[in-house]
Amino acid sequence: MNNSLLVVVIASGVGYGTPLLYAALGELVAERSGVLNLGVEGMMLVGAVMGFWTVQRVHVGSTAVLAAAIGVAALAAGAMALIHAFLVVTLRANQIVSGLALTIFAGAGGLSSYLGNDLNLSGSPARHQFTEPLPKSLQDLKIVGPILFGQSVLVYVSWLCVVLVALYLRWTRAGLNARAVGESPAAADAMGIDVARYRYVHTIVGGALAGVGGATFSLWLTPQWVDGLTEGAGWIAIALVIFAFWRPTFCLVGAYFFGALTALPFALQAHDVHISGDLIQTIPYSMTVVALVLVSTAVARRRLGAPAALGRPYVREER
Amino acid sequence: MRIERRLEQPRWLSFAVPAAALVLATLLGGLVLLVTGHPPVKSFRRLFEAAFTANGALSATVVSATPLAFTGLCAAIAFRMNLFNIGGEGQLYGGAITGATAGLLLADTPSPVAIGAMVLAGAAGGALVAAIPGFLRAFLSTNEIITSLMLNYVVGLILTYLIFDTHSYLRDTKGFQAQVFPQGKTLPESATWPSWTIHGLALPLGFLLAVGLAAAVWALYARTRFGFEVQVIGDSARAARYAGMRTRRKILAVMCLSGALAGIGGASQDGDFRHQLDPRGLTAAGYGYAGIVIAALGRYNPVAVVVLAFGLGGLQNAGYTLQSADFPAGLVGVMQGLILFCALGGELFVRYRVRFERRAPKPAPVAPEPSR
The complex's ipTM works out to 0.88
Please give the residue of chain B at the shortest CA–CA distance from A102: B337
Angle between helices A40-57 and A5-32 (to 10 degrees): 110
**Chain A: closest CA distance from residue B264 (Å):** 23
DSSP-assigned beta bridge partners for residue B5? B352
Tell me the pLDDT tens digit for each residue of B196-230: 998 888 899 999 999 999 999 999 999 999 999 99
Range ranked top by mean pLDDT from A42-51, A140-149, A268-277: A42-51
Separation CA A38–CA A95 (nearest Å): 8
pLDDT in tens, B239-269: 888 988 888 899 999 999 999 999 999 999 9
- Kindly determine whether residue A97 and residue B292, on different chains, have CB atoms separated by under 8 Å: yes
Dihedral sign from CA coordinates of B188, B193, B198, B201: negative
Rounded-to-integer distance, Cα A94 and Cα B347, Å = 10
CA distance A114 to chain B (A): 4
pLDDT of A11 > 70? The answer is yes
* Chain A: closest CA distance from residue B190 (Å): 32
pLDDT of amino acid B363: 55
Query: Rounded to an integer, what distance in angstroms lies between the CA atom of residue A7 and that of residue A18?
Result: 17
Gyration radius (Cα) of chain A, Å = 20
- DSSP single-letter state for residue A316: G
Q: Do the chains contact at A100 and B292, CB–CB below 8 Å?
A: yes
| Test the A interface: residue of B148, B150, B292 with most A CBs within 10 Å | B150
* Helices A173-183/A5-32 angle, 10° precision: 80
B290 touches A: beta carbon within 8 Å: yes
Residues B136 and B144: beta-carbon distance below 8 Å = yes
Contact between chains at A111 and B333 (C-beta distance less than 8 A): yes
In whole angstroms, how far apart are CA A114 and each of A43, A105, A120, B82, B284?
A: 14, 10, 10, 34, 17
**Residue B276 to residue B183: CA distance in whole angstroms:** 8
Instruction: Provide the domain count of chain A.
Output: 1
* Contact state of A278 with B160 under an 8 Å Cβ cutoff: yes
Q: Is B30 on the interface with A (CB under 8 A)?
A: no
B154 — contact with chain A (CB < 8 Å)? yes
pLDDT confidence bin for A139, thresholds 50/70/90: confident
Number of Cβ atoms within 10 Å of the Cβ of B205: 18
Please say whether the dihedral angle defined by the alpha carbons of residues A279, A285, A291 and A294, taken in this order, is positive or negative: negative
B173–A contact, CB cutoff 8 A = no
Answer whether A115 sits within 8 Å of B330, measured CB to CB: yes
Residue B49, classed as helix, strand or coil, is: helix
Q: Report CA torsion sign: B35, B39, B42, B47.
A: negative
Establish how many alpha carbons lie within 13 A of residue A110's alpha carbon, considering only the half-sphere containing its beta carbon. Answer: 27
DSSP bridge pairs for A109: none
Name which of B36, B332, B340 is nearest A101 (Cβ-Cβ). B340
Determine the pLDDT at residue A8. Answer: 86
Query: Nearest-CA residue of chain A relative to B154?
Result: A282
Residue B169 pLDDT level (bands cut at 50, 70, 90):
confident
Contact A318 B292 (CB under 8 A): no
DSSP output for A88-141: IIIS---HHHHHHHHHHHHSTTTHHHHHHHHTT-TTSB-SS-----S-HHHHTS
Per-residue pLDDT at B8? 76
The answer on pLDDT for B360 being more than 60 is no
Closest C-alpha among A276, A122, A291 to residue B146: A291
Distance from CA of B196 to the nearest CA of A (A): 32
Cα(first)–Cα(last) distance of chain B, in Å? 25
pLDDT band at B132 (very low <50, low <70, confident <90, very high): very high
| Residue in B closest to A295 by C-alpha | B142
Residues 6 or more apart whose CB falls under 8 angstroms from that of B211 comprise B69, B306
Mean pLDDT over the full length of chain A:
88
Residues of A in contact with B32 (CB under 8 A): 114
For residue B355, give the H/E element and its range.
Answer: strand B352-355
CATH code of residue A185: 1.10.3470
Q: Which of B86, B150, B337 lies closest to A289 in CB terms?
A: B150
Among left, alpha and beta (phi > 0; psi -120 to 50; other), residue A143 is left
Output the pLDDT for position A129.
85
- Of A87, A285, A306, which has the smallest distance from its Cβ to B154's Cβ? A285
Rounded-to-integer distance, Cα B27 and Cα B22, Å: 9
Beta-carbon contacts of A276 under 8 Å, excluding residues fewer than 6 positions away, are: A265, B161, B165, B166
Question: What are the residues whose beta carbons fall under 8 Å from the beta carbon of B353, sequence distance 6 or more?
Answer: B3, B4, B5, B6
Residues A65-98 pLDDT 10s: 999 999 999 999 999 999 999 999 998 888 888 9
Residue numbers in B near A91 (CB within 8 A): 344-345, 347-348
Q: What is the dihedral of CA A253, A259, A260, A264, to 10 degrees?
A: 160
The verdict on B146 touching A (C-beta cutoff 8 Å) is yes
pLDDT tens profile B293-332: 889 888 889 999 999 999 888 888 888 777 765 677 788 8
In chain B, residues with a C-beta closer than 8 Å to the C-beta of A48 are none
Residue A198: helix, strand or coil by DSSP? helix
Residue B1 predicted with pLDDT over 70:
no
Q: Burial, A43: exposed, middle or buried (Cβ in 10 Å; 0-12, 13-18, 19+)?
A: buried
A279: chain B residues, CB-CB within 8 Å? 157-158, 161, 165
The DSSP bridge pattern shows strands B195-198 and B201-204 to be: antiparallel
Which of A236, A219, A230, A234 is CA-nearest to residue A71? A219
Q: Which of A104, A121, A122, A274 to mutate to test the interface with B (most CBs of B within 10 A)?
A: A104
Cβ–Cβ under 8 Å, residues A118 and A107 = no
Residues with Cβ within 8 Å of A172's Cβ and at least 6 positions away in sequence, in order, are none
Q: How confident is the model at residue B270 (pLDDT cuts 50, 70, 90)?
A: very high
Question: Is the pLDDT assigned to residue B372 strictly greater than 60?
Answer: no
Query: Is the pLDDT assigned to residue B167 strictly greater than 90?
Result: no
Binning pLDDT at 50, 70 and 90, where does residue A209 land?
Answer: very high
Share of chain A above pLDDT 90, in %: 49
Cα A260 to Cα A245: distance, rounded to the nearest angstrom: 20
Distance of alpha carbon A21 from the chain centroid: 5
Residues 108-137 of B with CB under 8 A from A: 132, 136
First vs last Cα of chain A: how many Å apart?
A: 62
Q: Which residues 6+ apart lie within 8 Å of B109 measured at CB? A: B117, B190
Residue A303, C-beta contacts closer than 8 angstroms, at least 6 positions apart: none
Closest chain A C-alpha to B135 CA, distance in angstroms: 11
Residue A121, pLDDT score: 84
Cβ <8 Å between B296 and A97: yes
Contact list, A295 vs chain B (CB under 8 Å)? 142
Q: Which of residues 192-221 of B touch A (CB under 8 A)?
A: none
Contact B290 A104 (CB under 8 A): yes
**Which residue type does A38 have?**
L
CB contact under 8 A, B348 and A112: no
Q: Does B337 touch chain A (CB under 8 A)?
A: yes
Distance (Å, whole) CA B156 – CA B285: 12
Share of chain A above pLDDT 70, in %: 96
Of B146, B290, B352, the CB nearest to A292: B146
Average pLDDT of span A198-223: 94
State which residues form the domain around A112: 5-318
Q: Rounded to the nearest 5°, which phi and psi values hold at A113?
A: -65, -40
- Asked if the model's pLDDT at residue B365 lies above 60, the reply is no
**Residue A183 class from Cβ within 10 Å (0-12 exposed, 13-18 middle, 19+ buried)?**
middle
Tell me the whole-structure pTM to 2 decimals.
0.88
* C-alpha distance from residue A76 to each of A45, A73, A113, A222 (Å): 10, 5, 14, 20
Where is pLDDT greater, at B293 or B278? B278
